[in-house]
Chains A and B, each alone.
Chain A
C-alpha cells in the first residue's frame, strides 16, 4: 500500500500532486479535470503529493507500493 486514500470529490484539479510526484504516479483526467492515480505501484511514499495537495485529498501510508527495501547491513 502507498496511496491508501484519495478523496477525488475534494480534488480541485490544481495539479500540485502531478508536479510534486517524482515517480509520475498522478495524472490529470482530461474528462473531469481532476487528478487520477494512474500508476499506483510506483509510489515510494515520499509524501510529496500529500504535503503539497491544496485540498487535503491524499493519504499516503508509510510503506512503499512495492514493499520491503534492501537492508543496509
Chain B
C-alpha cells in the first residue's frame, strides 16, 4: 500500500457537519473571536436535514417557560433531562430571533415573527429550503471558513483530549488531518437510508464519538417512524390524510383503534405513533396491506387535507406529493388507492452532553441530532423540536467551545494514534472487495426496519435482529473500496450498523415499556427498576452498557411535589 501523507489543516474550532446544528455552532463560536472551520461531506447550505424538513420551529413564549417545562416534565414522567428541558424552554424565544437576525426568513404577522397556536404548543414557520443558504451567507461574511465534500471518519486525540479529526476529500482525493483546539460533532444521528428523506445522516458522528471514547445515551428512545406512499418511498406530509387509511378489505382503520380521531378533524402528524400502530395491528391480523383511499376527491380537496400550505414560504417537500405521483409515477390518487408503508426514519439518542454541550472527552462538544437530547421520556412531541433542538444545542456548544478555544492553546495530534486511525480508515482500499457496501446496508435494514424487531420489541426477536447485524459485520470485512467514494460508502455502512446495534442492545437491556420504547414482553412502565438512563461506551469486544439513575434530587421538579403543583 502506498504511504499517504495527510494534508494538515489547523483551526481553533472545528465543526463537523454543516447542517442546522453545525451552522448555529459555528456562528456562535465565531462571536468569541475564535477561528472557525466547518466541514461537510455534502455541500454546506444544502446539506443536512433542515433544508428538506417542513420549516417548523418549536416556540415557547418567555412568560410561559415554567408551565411549558412542567408540562413536558410531567408528560415525560420525570424521565427527561430537566436541566436541558428548562434550558430549551428558556432559550427558544431568543434562538428564534437570533435565527432571524442571522438571515432566516420567517412567516410574519404585523412585521414580527408570527407565533402560531398548534394545539397545546406553539410554533413559528420558516423558509426551510433557503434557510441554510441564508445562514451560510452570514457565516461567510463573518469569516467562518468552510470545506465541502469532506468525509470525516474519526476524531483524533492527544491523551484524553480530542484535538481534531481525520477525513478524506471525496473530490480532491486528499487525506486531511484537522488539528483544532475544540471540535464540535454536529453530523446528525442515523437515518439509515431506509426512508429517503434523511439519507444524509448515517450515524457517522455518534460512531466517531464512540470510537474516541465518548459516552452515548438514550439509544433505545426517539426512534421515529413515518408513514408514506410505498411507491414514492417518501413520507406523506399532511395532517388529515390519516382519515383515509384503510385495510385490504376496504375498512377505514384509524377509528377502530382511536375513536377520538373519528369526530372533528384532529391533526395527526406524519410521525404520529398511533398511525404506525394501527397499520401494524391490521397487518398482523391478516388484513393488510394498508392503503390510502382518496378516490373521488378532487385535487383541491386532496390538497386541503395537507392543510400546511404557506404561500409566503418556499416549499420543497410538504405539498409536492400529489405532483410527484402524477408526474413521476403516472398515478392519479383520486382514481386509485395507494399502498402505504410505515418506514423507519431515524434513530435517537446520541453522544451524551452536559448543559454546555460538552461531552465526557475534553476538547469535544456535540450538538443537534448527534447529541442525546432531553426528550427521552416522551414529553418532546411538540412539532418543530428537531430544528429548535439543533439550533439551541448548536448555539450552546458553539458558545462554550468558542470560549474554550480562545482561552486555551492547541495541542498536537498524537502521531501514533493518528497513524492507527489512518491505517484503519484506509484499510478497505487494500482489499479486493468481494461484496458491495450496499449489501451490508441491506442487512442492517433487515435488522432495524421491520416493526417486529424494532417497534414491537421482544427479547427473542431482538436477539434475532442482533444476529442479522453480526452477519452484517462479517460481510463488512469483505467489502473493499476502489476509491474514496467507495470508502465513504464502506464507512457509512459501518456507522449505520453501529447505530442499529446501539439501539437494539439498549432496547434489549431496558426491560420495561416507556414512551416510544415498547416491549411486548414487558408492557408496563417500571419506575422501581428502570428509572434510569442507559449509557453506552466502547468496551473490549463491543459496546459496554451501563445505567445511571435519573438525577431527580438535583432537578427543579420532583414527583413528590406533584400534589402541590397541580
Residues of chain B from 215 to 256 with CB closer than 8 A to chain A in the complex: 231-233
CB distance from A58 to the nearest CB of B (A): 12
Interface string of B45-58 (1 = CB under 8 A from A): 11100011000000
Which of B129, B233, B288 is within 8 Å of A51, CB to CB?
A: B129
Q: CA–CA, A61 to B51, complex, Å?
A: 21
Q: Quick one: CB contact mask for A44-63 with B, threshold 8 Å, 1 for yes?
A: 11111001100000001111
In this complex, the member of A60, A62, A64 whose beta carbon has the largest number of chain B beta carbons within 10 angstroms is A62
Of all chain B residues, which has the CB nearest A19? Answer: B43
Please give, as numbers and ranges, the residues of chain B lying within 8 Å of A61 by CB-CB distance: 328
User: Does A21 belong to the interface (CB within 8 Å)?
Assistant: yes
CB contact list, B15-50 vs A, under 8 A: 41-47
CA distance A60 to B199 in the complex (A): 15
- Chain A at the B interface: SS class: loop
Q: How long is the Cα–Cα vector from A29 to B65 in the complex, in angstroms?
A: 53
Closest B residue by C-beta to A61: B328
| A15→B449 contact, CB < 8 A | no
B196→A64 contact, CB < 8 A: yes
Q: From the candidates A38, A42, A64, A70, name the one contacting B450 in the complex (CB within 8 A).
A: A70
CA distance A11 to B47 in the complex (A): 21
Contacts of B43 in A (CB 8 A): 15-16, 18-20
Asked, given contacts A22-B199, A44-B199, A62-B329, whether A72 binds B46 with beta carbons under 8 Å apart, the answer is no
Could you say which residues of chain A place their CB within 8 Å of the CB of B344? 72
Chain B interface extent, by class: 35 or more
- Is A72 a contact partner of B231 (Cβ separation < 8 A)? no
Q: Is the CB of B171 within 8 A of A44?
A: no
Name the residue of chain B whose CB is nearest to the CB of A41. B438
Tell me, in angstroms, the Cα distance from A48 to B449 when the chains sit together: 23
Closest chain B residue to A60, Cβ basis: B328
Bound-state Cα–Cα, A19 to B48, Å: 10
Known contacts A45-B196, A62-B231; A72/B341 CB under 8 A:
yes
Which chain B residues lie closer than 8 Å to A64 at the CB level? 196, 233
CA A64 to CA B196, docked complex, whole Å: 9
Minimum Cβ distance to chain A for residue B143 (Å): 21
State whether B445 touches A70 (Cβ < 8 A). yes
Q: How far is the CA of A53 from the CA of B314 in the complex (A)?
A: 15
The smallest beta-carbon distance between B326 and chain A, in angstroms, is 12
Which residue on A lies nearest to B324, using beta carbons? A62
B46–A69 touching, CB < 8 Å: no
The tally of CB-CB contacts under 8 A between chains A and B is 91
Determine whether the beta carbon of B45 is less than 8 Å from that of A19. yes
Distance of A31 from chain B, by nearest CB (Å)? 15
A73 with B288: in contact, given A18-B149, A22-B42, A24-B488 (CB under 8 Å)? yes
Q: Which of B269-310 contact A (CB under 8 A)?
A: 280, 283, 288
C-alpha gap A23/B201 in the complex (Å):
10
Interface string of B444-464 (1 = CB under 8 A from A): 011001111000000000000
Number of interface residues of A (CB under 8 A): 31
Name the B residues within 8 Å of A51 (CB-CB): 52, 129, 316
User: At the interface, yes or no: B373 with Cβ under 8 Å from chain A?
Assistant: no
B489 touches A62 (CB 8 A): no
| A71 CB contacts on chain B under 8 angstroms | 341, 449-450
Contact A72 B129 (CB under 8 A): no
B148 interfacial by beta-carbon distance below 8 Å: yes
Tell which of B197, B233, B328 touches A69, judged by Cβ atoms closer than 8 Å. Answer: B233
Distance A70 CA – B192 CA, assembled complex (angstroms):
12
Write out the residue numbers on chain A whose beta carbons fall within 8 Å of the beta carbon of B44. Answer: 19
B364 at the interface (CB under 8 A from A): no
B194 within 8 A of A: yes
Identify the closest chain A residue to B231 (Cβ).
Answer: A62
Q: Which of chain B's residues have a CB closer than 8 A to the CB of A34?
A: none
Query: Which single residue of chain B is at the shortest CB-CB distance from A4?
Result: B328
**Minimal beta-carbon separation of B430 from chain A (angstroms):** 21
Bound-complex Cα distance A69 to B446 (A): 9
- Within the complex, which residue of B324, B328, B449 is in contact with A72, where a contact is CB–CB below 8 Å? B449
In the complex, how many angstroms separate the beta carbon of B310 from the nearest chain A beta carbon?
A: 17
Tell me which of A16, A24, A42, A62 contacts B233 (CB under 8 A): A62
User: Are A70 and B451 in contact, CB atoms less than 8 angstroms apart?
Assistant: no
Q: Which residue of B lies closest to A27 (CB)?
A: B171
Q: Does B363 contact A (CB under 8 A)?
A: no
Q: Which residues of A contact B438 (CB under 8 A)?
A: 66
Assembly CA distance A16 to B309 (angstroms): 25
Q: A23-B199, A73-B450 are in contact. Are A44 and B193 (CB under 8 A)?
A: yes
Q: Please measure, in the bound complex, the distance between the C-alpha atom of A70 and the C-alpha atom of B447, giving whole angstroms.
A: 9
B340 CB to nearest chain A CB (Å): 10
| Cα separation A62 to B199 with both chains bound (whole Å) | 15
What 3 A-B pairs are tightest by C-beta distance, nearest first? Answer: A19-B43, A22-B200, A70-B445
* 23 pairs, A vs B, C-beta closer than 8 Å: A16-B43, A18-B43, A18-B148, A22-B47, A24-B149, A44-B193, A45-B196, A46-B199, A47-B324, A48-B46, A51-B129, A52-B46, A62-B231, A62-B232, A62-B328, A69-B445, A69-B449, A70-B194, A70-B442, A70-B446, A70-B450, A72-B344, A73-B283
With A15-B43, A72-B342, A73-B288 given, can you name 10 additional A-B contacts, CB distance below 8 Å? A19-B42, A42-B489, A44-B199, A45-B233, A46-B52, A64-B233, A69-B233, A70-B442, A70-B450, A72-B343
